[in-house]
């Protein structure tokens, strides 16, 4: 049975501690030489070795889509290049549709120049970045600074905060606060044996397809005790996940729904993570039946990708969010 997507499948280990602004050797030479394509990172050229004295950003290609503002969440792709010779150090393009980043105060405080660049950007914009903090990161004795390239691929709709319908009979009750954040009441009755779905807010956007990557906010609780075990609302940023790489309850329950919808999912054990015996006593995944509330905020086609290299499968870029980690019991068949 396939589980919610593995951590880091669309991630890249990049050093991103920004400081002030200023000059450096070779930064003006950074140029986009070939646009990105499905599953392929852009080609970037620059004078080598490159070494900046202060953190730098540069727009390599202006976007022509919707404007990005403070507070927006966006889908982001990234690629990293070695400052000494321009060779690739990894990318997210070859791993999936990218990751979600929220342009919030946390980003502003920790990465002020990237925040500034993003709040002036539009969908499609490609931005280069380098910092002296990356000096020596690529290899021992190499004091060049890495060139990092980010593409804003999609602006995500705001979090849902609309009137909900009362859940159908037999579904756990769901309430929301003044920000629209849902809370699932403790379930009652016998553990469910079948998948049940209930649309609490009806969206009017695109229909979710099996081949899509879905961007969503969600909260999940155990049927047995009603305790929350995961919530993107608490993390402050939506998650993205390919629908063909999640637990069966998500895949079957979300396919065919509309962007802009809030969907309650009651998932039996055989369409969730499994039983305690199957998972083992030390598993980080919740056993038994589960209940989720999922806000579908956007979709994008899942690109055909190659297997990620070790260099491109670590922590998320710019603090970007991922969907919940997959169980180690996941299989390629999804059965």
Choose among 13, 4, 84: nearest CA to 49: 84
Q: What is the DSSP string of 134-160?
A: GTTSSSTT-----EEEEEEEEEEPPPP
Q: Quote the pLDDT of residue 111.
A: 83
pLDDT value, residue 32 = 97
Rounded CA separation 322/102 (Å): 12
The predicted structure's pLDDT at residue 131 = 87
Provide block-wise average pLDDT over 10 residues at a time, the chain (335 residues): 35 32 69 93 94 93 97 96 93 93 92 92 96 78 90 96 96 97 96 97 97 97 96 94 95 98 98 95 93 97 62 42 45 32
Distance separating alpha carbons of residues 146 and 162, to the nearest angstrom: 44
pLDDT at position 17: 28
Q: Which of 93, 98, 147 shows the shortest CA–CA distance to 316?
A: 98
* HSE-up (13 A, CA, CB side) for residue 272: 28
pLDDT given at position 55: 87
The pLDDT assigned to 25 comes to: 63
């Amino acid at each position: 049975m396939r589980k919610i997507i593995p951590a880091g499948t669309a991630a890249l280990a990049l050093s991103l501690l920004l400081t002030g602004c200023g000059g450096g050797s070779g930064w003006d030479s950074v140029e986009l030489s070939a646009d990105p394509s499905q599953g392929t990172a852009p080609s970037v050229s620059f004078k080598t070795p490159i070494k900046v004295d202060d953190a730098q950003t540069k727009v390599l290609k202006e976007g022509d889509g919707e404007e990005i503002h403070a507070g927006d969440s966006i889908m982001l792709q990234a690629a990293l290049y070695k400052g000494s010779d321009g060779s690739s150090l990894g990318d997210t393009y070859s791993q999936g549709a990218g990751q979600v980043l929220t342009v919030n105060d946390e980003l502003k405080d920790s990465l002020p120049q990237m925040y500034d660049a993003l709040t002036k950007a539009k969908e499609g914009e490609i931005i280069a970045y380098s910092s002296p903090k990356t000096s020596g990161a690529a290899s021992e004795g190499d004091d060049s600074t890495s060139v990092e390239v980010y593409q804003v691929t999609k602006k995500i709709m705001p979090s849902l905060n609309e009137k909900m319908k009362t859940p159908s009979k037999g579904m756990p009750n769901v309430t929301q606060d003044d920000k629209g954040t849902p809370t699932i009441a403790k379930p009652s009755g016998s553990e469910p044996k079948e998948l049940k779905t209930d649309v609490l807010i009806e969206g009017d956007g695109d229909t979710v397809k099996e081949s899509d990557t879905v961007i969503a906010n969600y909260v999940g609780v155990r049927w047995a005790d009603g305790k929350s075990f995961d919530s993107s609302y608490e993390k402050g940023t939506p998650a993205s996940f390919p629908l063909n790489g999640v637990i069966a309850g998500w895949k079957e329950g979300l396919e065919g729904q509309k962007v802009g919808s809030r969907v309650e999912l009651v998932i039996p054990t055989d369409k969730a993570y499994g039983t305690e015996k199957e998972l083992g006593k030390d598993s980080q995944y919740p056993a038994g039946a589960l209940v989720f509330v999922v806000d579908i905020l956007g979709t994008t086609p899942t690109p055909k990708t190659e297997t990620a290299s070790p260099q491109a499968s670590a922590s998320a870029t710019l603090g970007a969010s991922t969907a919940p980690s997959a169980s180690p019991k996941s299989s390629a068949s999804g059965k």
